[in-house]
Structures are given as C-alpha cells and as structure tokens.
Structure 1
Amino acid sequence: MSARFLPHLLAAAVLAVAVAGCQRGPQAEHDPARTVANAGESGALVKRAPRAEDITPPTERAEREIDWRPMELTDGRAWIGCDPDYATKGDGTPLENLGFTAVWHGVAACRDEGRLRLRYKGKINAEFTALMERVSEVATTQGVDTRILDIDSAGGMIEDGIRAGDHMAEADWTIWVREGAVCHSACVLVLAGGDMRMIAGDVGIHRMIRIDSEATSRAELNRELREVHSLTESYLERNGAAVTVADLMMTVPNRSLRLLTGDELTLFGLTGPNAVEDDLDRIRLGRKCGESFVQRRDRFFRAFDNECTALAEQVEDMNECGRALRQRFGFPDEACPAESPLAEYN
C-alpha cells in the first residue's frame, strides 16, 4: 500500500470493528475444492478479442482524460459515505448519476474527514469503470486520499474488470468485501488492483464465457479464450496476483462457482496488502528516508499486528497500543515524520 495511504487505513480500522475484522477472510473450515452449483447471476464475460490498448501496461499508455459526459448506473447502485462503520452510519448518500456535479458534491461531503467509502452493488462493466475513474479524479482534486471501495458484485465483463483494476492500482484504493457481500468471477480481477484487500464475504471464480462466439469446436473456442487468458495473466502478474486465477477461469464450469478459502486468497495474492505496491512503497521510502527507516517501520507493523490488532473491539486501547509502539520504535522519525507509522498522531 502507498506510504501516504497506510496511516489512513489504520486509522479507519480502529473506527469500526467491522473494518478491523474484515481482514480475516472466509472461514478456514471451507473445503478447498468447494464449488457452488447454480452460479446464478455470476459472470465472467468476454465480448471481444483483446486490443493493443488492453495489453499495453498502464504506465506506458498516454494519459487518459476522464470522459465527463452524463452517465447513469443502469446495472448497479452506488453510495458515498465518509465512515467505514456502515452498521451505524449506513451506506451513505446515493450517487444518482455519474455527472461531474453529482460526483463532486458526493466526494466533497468527505473532504473534512479526508476519507471516503464508495459502496457499489452491481455488475462489473463500463459504468463501473467510469465510476471508479470519476470518483478517483474528484477525490484527488479535493485531497480525499483515503479511499475504500465497499463492493458487492457477482461479476460482469472481464475487460472492464481489468481496466478498472489497473486504474485502481494507480489511485490508492482499499477494497472491502463485507460480510454478506460477494465478489465473484470478473469481480475477482478488481481485487488484484487494490492496495489493500479486506475480505469477509465470499470470493468465487468460474470459467469465462465468450459472448457472440462463432466457435463450432473445442479448438476454436479455446483459441478465442486463450487470447483473453493471456491478457488476464499479464494483468494478474503486474498486480502481484497468481496466474492460477486465470487458469481457474478456464477450468471451473461456468454453471458452477469455485469459492476461495482464506488460505487460497492469501496464496493467490488477493487479500491483505498488495505485494507489488508494498515493494514500490519500500523502494520509495528507502530512497527518501533510508533503509534503516524502512526496517524499523517493518518491525513496527509486525509488532502492531501481533500486539494491537487483538484489541480491535476496544478502539481506545488499540489507539493507545499504537501510540506506545511509536515511542518504542522511535517514531515519529525526525527526518521523515510524515512517512512515519500513524503519522496522524504527530
């Protein structure tokens, strides 16, 4: 996760037990090979062969301007709230459309907090990608740096899952699948793009489906899907997730759903801190603050996980534990106070 995002994420975690507890993942007693028949509305749809712009890594693309033409959410609903504690505060204010004025006012309500939670329930499609791009741009303009996507989606279009995930990888998003929510099929690709993933609901994968396929044999259908499989592998690799996910999207029958256990989510790089972003964060911090700072910061967070997260239900105790650890490890650092853990307490 990014250096500036991590302190805000920890602050969000101590505000509500719901957020702090979401990092556990599905219960371990799930059968590792568990599948669910009748996948229902789940979808991993492919509408075309990949284009060059899809294969090109995001950092090599020309900067894409946000298209602010009026747009409605026809296959989903969105809300913007400023507090992760949805049980007490609710889902937030409905985002009626994706026009500039609606998005601006929705995000502006969270400017003082410096933190927003975007609740989305619906399909992964071009509208979802536009939602993430527009909210990200406005949040950056208004200085709302802590961003949580609270998602509940049974899937949708593979290409849009990749496009949205690549955008989120550059925009400092945490992704939260709350208890009772799902993230199935194409939604799993969105998880790969988050800086941090907190999962309490079900995450599941099944075989992708080619829309309007003209295949008349297994070989022809395989050629169509191999193009998208290669695109998906490349996306997962650059975002620190296992290419095994792409393989499962070729093998699990689309009428079923393979639910991933907590251990599998960790193994596949789909939960907790994003490994690639963590490496980039360490490189940036090493250049700015020195390697000894990075090593001391790592020791702080290991101690925080071991000693403080167990106090999640006692918010004041968790705060006090974190502040005591800061003193023990010599934070705030004199040379890099803003990069120090829990910098909001400086």
Structure 2
Amino acid sequence: MSLLFAGCATSITEPGAVPKIERFAYRGGGLVLRQADGECRIVAAGEISPAMVSSLTLVMREVEKQRACSKKWLELNITDGLLGQAITAGSMLRNRGYSTRLQPGSVCHTPCLLVFAAGVQRVIPSDSLLVRLGFSQIPPDEDFGGRHCETELNNNQQLTLARYLRAMLAASTADRMFRMINEANCQEVHELPVRDALTMGLATGG
C-alpha cells in the first residue's frame, strides 16, 4: 500500500479565531487543509503521484462536506511528479473551481506547472525571487514520457496534453506551454522567468 493517509488526518484547534487545520499524509508528501473565514486552502508538498491524487480526492471531499468555502485554493510546493497524475489533479481542481498559488521558496517544474495551470486564478508570490519556474523533461511513466533524453510523446499523448492545456489556458498560452514542454530534455531545466509567466498568461497575478 502506497497510501498512508488512512488514520493520519489530524485536526488542530488554535486559540482565538485561528483556522481549523487538518493534515493528510501520503507516501512521498502530504496535504494540509486550512479553513478560516470562508476560505479553504490546501497546501501540497511532495511528489505528484497516484498516492497524492488519492489523498487530494479525500481532502476535496472534506472541503465539499463543509459547504462553507467561498474561496478554494491549492498552494503548491512541488517540484517533481508524473505527468498523467498532474493532469488528473489539475482536472479535479478546475472542475471544482479551485485557484492555485505557488508557495514562497518553491521550485515548480513541468508537472507542478501543469497543476498550477488548472487554477481559476493562478498566483505567484509578488517577490519573484521567492520562486523558480522551469520546464523539465517529462519523467517516464506508464502514460507519458520515455527513456530518451528528449521528450518524445506519441500522437495520443500529444493530443491529451494539448487538450488539457487548451481547457485550462488561453489558446496562445496553451500552445506556448505545449511547445516548451515538448522541447525539454534531460540536460537542463529551461528556466521560465516569473515576468514571462505573467506576460504569457500562465499566471494571472502576483
């Protein structure tokens, strides 16, 4: 069993009008659900994996039970992960009206960027020095990627990725991201300056 969240959710009640906090652990990372003043915020740290998607599903169900969240956010502190799982997680977020935000100090590469792209609003910390964005080669999994240095997707994989990006972003932004992802290789991460993420429409605000 790769999932560890069963029985691992804990609630923290802090003095005064401090948010309710619940923690959900999974192998390779964890999620924290913070609820206060009509806002529900999930903080994700670790790898994007099947265990992460299962845990995220569990947390989202908890949010839906509350029926008191006028704003819903996913904060990301994730570098690596599987592309297929990133697309699944991103689709779940958009279908439920979540916005996304990068945590200060985070490093967000291709899988993380795909989840980030799913937010209704997509926010990067105002101090651009606090985050690093970049396009990395797609890691191989059963759905995407291969063991070559260059990213090589077959026709069906390219179609899935293109449709996902087009569903999340404006056409010009989606097409630019698609090209950048396909151009990535194993030799280096192609840095994306925060100002470029804002200009191209990947981020909606800082």
Please give the TM-score of this superposition, normalised by the length of structure 1.
0.45
Matched with 1:257 is: 189
Equivalences, count:
185
1:193-222 deviations in Å (ceiling 9; x for gaps): 111111132221122243488889x9xx84
* Structure with higher RCO (Cα < 8 A, 6+ apart): 1
CA pair 154-70 structure 1, distance change in 2 beyond 3 A: closer
Alpha-carbon shift at residue 271 of structure 1 (Å): 0.8
Structure 1 segments of 4 or more deviating over 6 A? Answer: 78-82, 212-216
Pairing 1:185-224 to 2, within 5 Å after superposition: 185-200=110-125, 201-211=131-141, 222=152, 224=153
1:36-56 deviations in Å (ceiling 9; x for gaps): xxxxxxxxxxxxxxxxxxxxx
Matched with 1:152 is: 77
What stretches of structure 2 of length at least 5 have no aligned partner?
Answer: 126-130
Among all aligned residue pairs of Structure 1 and Structure 2, give the percentage whose two residues are the same amino acid. Answer: 16
Which one-letter code corresponds to 1:191 in the other structure? F
CA pair 177-214 structure 1, distance change in 2 beyond 3 A: closer
Matched with 2:128 is: none
What stretches of structure 1 of length at least 5 have no aligned partner?
Answer: 1-68, 83-88, 274-308, 310-346
Take 1:142 and 1:258, find their aligned partners in 2: how far apart are those partners?
41
CA pair 129-235 structure 1, distance change in 2 beyond 3 A: same
1:126-156 deviations in Å (ceiling 9; x for gaps): 1222233222222122113222212111121
Greater share of strand: 2
Alpha-carbon shift at residue 252 of structure 1 (Å): 2.3
Take 1:225 and 1:194, find their aligned partners in 2: how far apart are those partners?
27
Matched with 1:238 is: 167
1:274-315 deviations in Å (ceiling 9; x for gaps): xxxxxxxxxxxxxxxxxxxxxxxxxxxxxxxxxxx9xxxxxx
SS at 1:95 equivalent: strand
Alpha-carbon shift at residue 232 of structure 1 (Å): 0.8
Alpha-carbon shift at residue 172 of structure 1 (Å): 1.8
Take 1:257 and 1:248, find their aligned partners in 2: how far apart are those partners?
11
What value does the CA root-mean-square deviation take over the aligned residues?
3.8
> Which residue among 34, 38, 56 is the counterpart of 1:132?
56
Alpha-carbon shift at residue 70 of structure 1 (Å): 9.6
Greater share of helix: 1
CA pair 97-209 structure 1, distance change in 2 beyond 3 A: closer
Take 1:80 and 1:183, find their aligned partners in 2: how far apart are those partners?
28
1:152-173 deviations in Å (ceiling 9; x for gaps): 1112111111111111001121
